[in-house]
Amino acid sequence: MDKTPVIFWFRRDLRLVDHPALEAAAERGPVLPLFIDDAVLREPSGANRLHFLSASLRSLDRSMGGRLVVRSGDPVRVLEELAGEIEASSVVATADFGPYGRRRDERVERELDSDHFSVSFLDSPYAVPPGTITTKTDTPYKVFTPFFRAWTERGRPQPSPAPEVEWVTGPATEGIPEAPEVTADLPPAGEDAAAERLDWFLGGPVHDYHECRNDPGIDGTSRLSPYLKWGTLHPRQILARLGRSSGEDVFRSEIAWREFYADVLFHRPDSARHAFVDTLAAIEYDEGPVADERFERWCRGETGYPIVDAGMRQLVAQGWMHNRVRMIVASFLVKDLHLDWTRGARWFMQHLVDGDLASNNHGWQWVAGTGTDAAPYFRVFNPTTQSAKFDGSGAYLRRWVPEIAHLSDARIHEPARDETGPPAGYPEPIVDHAAERNEALARYERAKGHR
């Protein structure tokens, strides 16, 4: 083995098992494990995500015997300085496919890659790296179903065990970034916690996933998204263990949705902030004091629509929201309150512990009718009927909206229609859904007329 040290730069891959990039680094020589606290990524991140990141780093550090080196600052400067300190010959990292990550890595290659020092970006946080699946005409997929077929047919390696690594010690570390104070009840972090959650899910709930995934009142989803976000779990590790039951097939497609949105963002970085399709460019969104007050009530979970309020309260309390409810509250913001989807997407990213730019913002665009496979704008979720259909017993509502917990199953979904009105402390509906649905459709027709 060449004894020249290699810097391994951890990013969204905070694990040791099934880590091809780390394995490649270990084959080159002794490895210095590095994490760079990059202000460009830290500053827009919400407290929940930063808290979970800090805990994930502490877990990773323990797994390598306290050898993780943390430095803050510009990645190019940090890598240059550290390479000089240990006389490293190269830096290896898992490839990043996000808009900022790609720009950063291109600059690292441009400024550091030379005859005397090599830069390598290997593997991917995804089962299939974004940009590698295209149509027969070599264009990106814009629709999920054909992407899913091509993604399913794509081969992928089996997960690998943790590599044997000779760790480099000595360089000073600034220590794990201090975790911000949070009020949310976040899940345990780290590679072991991810493995335990995966074992639990595959040990039972996944087999009923196709039937239970839309019921927010039960623990029927994987809750693996925070671990996938920071790479304490890789999609390969999930896919390798999935069988062919109905629930497993549906869950496999959910993993593919995550990879589809990453592929869309790879090809269209602008879609993180702007409409993927401009067919609704002329749609009217409300602005001003009334719109702002309605937005604040939506954020606080005080709209008078129980399923919306329950979801928004869960988001603040857990840094997470059930996926079915995410669609309901998003539709309510865009089509009942007539607010720009970007406002809701930003609020979600401030609170979600699993906040992923591609999945979050393209999920919002799906609801708003501006994205890939978008729900037609005229499809407006009725929060009351959605609540009755997917939380029939009211278990989810009773947990998160205790003001209405005493109401019967029949009344709890629409407390304002109770003969005595909504219970004390719970608001009247902020808007009339039927009227706002008609208004949303009218705005849609006007926007179509401007195309």
| 356 token code pair | 């992923």
pLDDT at position 421 is 84
Asked whether residue 26 is domain-assigned, the answer is yes
Range of lowest pLDDT (2-6, 191-195, 196-200, 429-433):
2-6
Structure confidence by residue, pLDDT tens digits, 96-113: 999 999 999 999 999 999
User: 306 and 242, same structural domain?
Assistant: no
Residues 369 and 441 in one domain: yes
Question: In the predicted model, what is the mean pLDDT of residues 233-253?
Answer: 97
Please answer whether residues 247 and 207 qualify as being in contact, where contact means their C-beta atoms are separated by less than 8 angstroms. Answer: yes
Which of 261, 231, 230 lies closest to 352 in space, CA to CA?
230
What pLDDT is recorded for position 378?
A: 82
End of a domain among 217, 235, 267?
Answer: 267
Mean pLDDT of 165-184: 95
Residue 411 CA to chain centroid, in angstroms? 34
Whether the pLDDT of residue 40 is over 80: the answer is yes
Confidence of residue 1 (pLDDT cuts 50, 70, 90): very low
Question: Is residue 315 scored above 80 in pLDDT?
Answer: yes
| Residue 57 domain flag | yes
Domain boundary among 73, 95, 123: 123
The per-residue pLDDT of the chain, averaged, comes to: 95
As a whole number of angstroms, the distance between CA 162 and CA 141 comes to 34
Same domain, 114 and 130: no
Residue 35 domain-assigned? Answer: yes
Q: Is the pLDDT of residue 313 over 60?
A: yes
Facing residues of 7 across strands?
32, 91
Residues 241 and 348 in one domain: no
Residue 309 placed within a domain: yes
Same domain, 111 and 134: no
Nearest to 154 by CA among 136, 134, 128: 128
Query: pLDDT tier at 156 (50, 70, 90 boundaries)?
Result: confident
Task: Estimate the crossing angle of helix 99-112 against helix 75-86, to 10 degrees.
Answer: 40
What is the 3 state secondary structure string of the chain? CCCCCEEEEECCCCCCCCCHHHHHHHHHCCEEEEEEECHHHHCCCCHHHHHHHHHHHHHHHHHCCCCCEEEECCHHHHHHHHHHHHCCCEEEEECCCCHHHHHHHHHHHHHHCCCCCEEEEECCCCCCCCCCCCCCCCCCCCCHHHHHHHHHHCCCCCCCCCCCCCECCCCCCCCCCCCCCCCCCCCCCCHHHHHHHHHHHHCCHHHHHHHHCCCCCCCCCCCCHHHHHHCCCCHHHHHCCCCCCHHHHHHHHHHHHHHHHHHHHHHCHHHHCCCCCCCCCCCCCCCCHHHHHHHHHHHHCCCCCHHHHHHHHHHHHHCCCCHHHHHHHHHHHHHHCCCCHHHHHHHHHHHCCCCCHHHHHHHHHHHHCCCCCCCCCCCCCCHHHHHHHHCCCCHHHHHHCHHHCCCCCCCCCCHHHCCCCCCCCCCCCCCCHHHHHHHHHHHHHHHHHCC
What pLDDT, on a 0 to 100 scale, did the predictor assign at position 209?
A: 97
- Residue at 167 is within a domain: no
Residue 67 has pLDDT above 90, yes or no: yes
Please indicate, yes or no, whether residues 430 and 297 belong to a single structural domain of this protein: yes
Which two structure tokens, joined as six digits, stand for 241? 């263990």
Domain end (from 107, 123, 139): 123
Least confident of 22-36, 97-111, 417-431: 417-431
Asked whether residue 209 is assigned to any structural domain, the reply reads yes
- Number of folded domains that form the chain: 3
Residue 327's nearest CA partner among 359, 288, 286, 284 is 359
Residue type, 360: N
pLDDT at 158 over 70: yes
Which whole number is the average pLDDT over 148-153?
Answer: 96
Are 310 and 389 in a shared domain? yes
Contact between residue 331 and residue 367 where contact means Cβ atoms under 8 Å apart: yes
375 pLDDT more than 80:
no
Q: Using the predicted structure, report yes or no on whether residue 376 has a pLDDT greater than 70.
A: yes
Is 281 within the bounds of a domain?
Answer: no
Residues 358 and 410 in one domain: yes
Span 222-244, average pLDDT: 98
* Per-residue CA distances from 70 to 3, 21, 24 (Å): 22, 19, 21
Kindly state whether residues 76 and 209 are assigned to the same domain: no
Full domain range(s) for residue 396: 289-449
Are 234 and 138 contained in the same domain? yes
What's 195's domain CATH number? 1.25.40.80
Answer whether residue 15 is part of any domain: yes
Together in a domain, 300 and 385 = yes
Give the Cβ contact number of residue 125 at 10 Å.
25
Of 34, 25, 26, nearest to 92 by C-alpha is 25
pLDDT of amino acid 114: 93
Length of the chain: 451
Report the distance separating Cα 315 and Cα 294, nearest Å: 18
Tell me: the pLDDT tens digits for 123-133? 999 999 999 99
Within this chain, do residues 148 and 258 fall inside the same structural domain, yes or no?
yes
